[in-house]
Amino acid sequence: MDRFDDIPEIALAWYREGKGAALATVVETWGSAPRRVGSQLAISGEGQIAGSVSGGCVEGAVVAEALDAVETGKPVILEYGVSDGDAFAVGLACGGTIRVLVEPVGFVMPLHLLEELVSARAARKPVAYVTGPAGRALVRDGHETRFRMDRSGFEEDGETFIAIHNPPLRLIVVGAVHIAQALVPMARIAGFDPVLIDPRESFASEARFPGEKLVHDWPDEGVRDFGLDSRTALVLLTHDPKLDDPALEQALASNVFYIGALGSTRTHAKRRERLSAKGFTTTQLARISGPVGLDIGAAGPSEIAVAILAEMIQVLRQGA
């Protein structure tokens, strides 16, 4: 999974500095490709680069074409193929082909669209950059499947390209228990930006969670302050209704993509009863994964963390 990056922001900064800039975007791949469709490379008119569109094998050629595009103000579509025999030497696991769209900023990509895109990303608002025969535009509605699956690509007409710009994935963990000690670093490796909420400072300590973001507020306050949106997962690990339930209530009123709560089937049934008494519907309560995680026969905190992370990704990519 690609991490959230600042490639559009860098391109905008270079343009504002008077250097000129272009954005190169992977629009299609065949065979093996080290970067997924939608990956970007920013190139300044002075030859500076940020990001990548391959494993390093075609960046030099893309930069040369991008510098020409900045000069002429015209877009260009580039295609690079690598044979099976040469693939390993240039960073492809096996033979593959990539197609890259290069758009000079201020010409093909209007400055106001890039500024609007950067603003949307800063506000954690999902947005799609659409380019094709009808021109270029930013859209926030439609393309639900693409947004959910982080899937940029061509539409059925083969000419309209949709570049999905989703906010970075986040994970809120309530309860600084042993499972959290395994889950938080695993989630970070998988591309999530985790935060751990627990008012018990002896649990949520730097010694137990070195380098992690720790919040010692009550969970409902911490969750509310951190924010809940469609790119956020919430996992509750305390077993304590005083800590879990207020955060659950916040999550059920939001559009977080995943809610998981630790506890046995019996514990979860009691949890549903409490929340139902507070007015939450059966449909809302069905959003809670409890017992949390895929049923893989996990034993011990680390394996339970694997099961939780796997279920989070399954829901993210395939839906509940």
For residues 284 and 320, the model is more confident at 284
Q: What is the DSSP pairing of strand 193-197 with strand 214-215? A: parallel
Confidence (pTM):
0.75
Span of 99-108, 147-156, 176-185 with lowest mean pLDDT: 147-156
pLDDT for the residue 70? 95
pLDDT for the residue 124? 86
Give the mean pLDDT of 290-303.
Answer: 94
49-91 pLDDT, tens digit per residue, is 999 888 667 888 899 999 999 999 999 999 887 554 444 454 5
pLDDT for the residue 84? 46
pLDDT for the residue 178? 96
User: What HEC string does the chain produce?
Assistant: CCCCCCHHHHHHHHHHCCCCEEEEEEEEEEECCCCCCCCEEEEECCCCEEECCCCCCCHHHHHHHHHHHHHHCCCEEEEEEECHHHHHHHCCCCCEEEEEEEEEECCCECHHHHHHHHHHHHCCCCEEEEEECCEEEEECCCCHHHHHHCCCEECCCCCCEEEEECCCCEEEEECCCHHHHHHHHHHHHCCCEEEEECCCCCCCCCCCCCCCCEECCCHHHHHHHHCCCCCEEEEECCCCHHHHHHHHHHHHCCCCCEEEECCCHHHHHHHHHHHHHCCCCHHHHCCEECCCCCCCCCCCHHHHHHHHHHHHHHHHHHCC
Question: What letters, b where the CB count within 10 A reaches 16 and e where it falls short, cover 199-229?
Answer: beeebbeeebbeebebbeebbbebbeebebe
Does the structure show a pLDDT above 50 at 2? no
23-41 pLDDT, tens digit per residue, is 999 999 877 666 789 999 9
pLDDT for the residue 159? 92
Q: Rounded to 5 degrees, what angle do the CA atoms 185, 188, 191 make?
A: 155
Give the mean pLDDT of 13-26.
Answer: 96
If you average pLDDT over every residue of the chain, what do you get? 90
pLDDT band at 95 (very low <50, low <70, confident <90, very high): low
220-262 pLDDT, tens digit per residue, is 899 988 889 889 999 999 988 999 999 999 999 998 999 999 9
Does the structure show a pLDDT above 90 at 318? no
Where do the structural domains in the chain lie, given as residue ranges? Answer: 7-165, 170-318
With a pLDDT cut of 90, the percent of the chain lying above it is 72
pLDDT band at 3 (very low <50, low <70, confident <90, very high): very low
Does the structure show a pLDDT above 50 at 4? no
Does the structure show a pLDDT above 50 at 1? no
Domain 170-318: CATH superfamily is NAD(P)-binding Rossmann-like Domain (3.40.50.720)
Residues 191/170, Cβ–Cβ less than 8 Å: no
For residues 243 and 92, the model is more confident at 243
Does the structure show a pLDDT above 90 at 176? yes
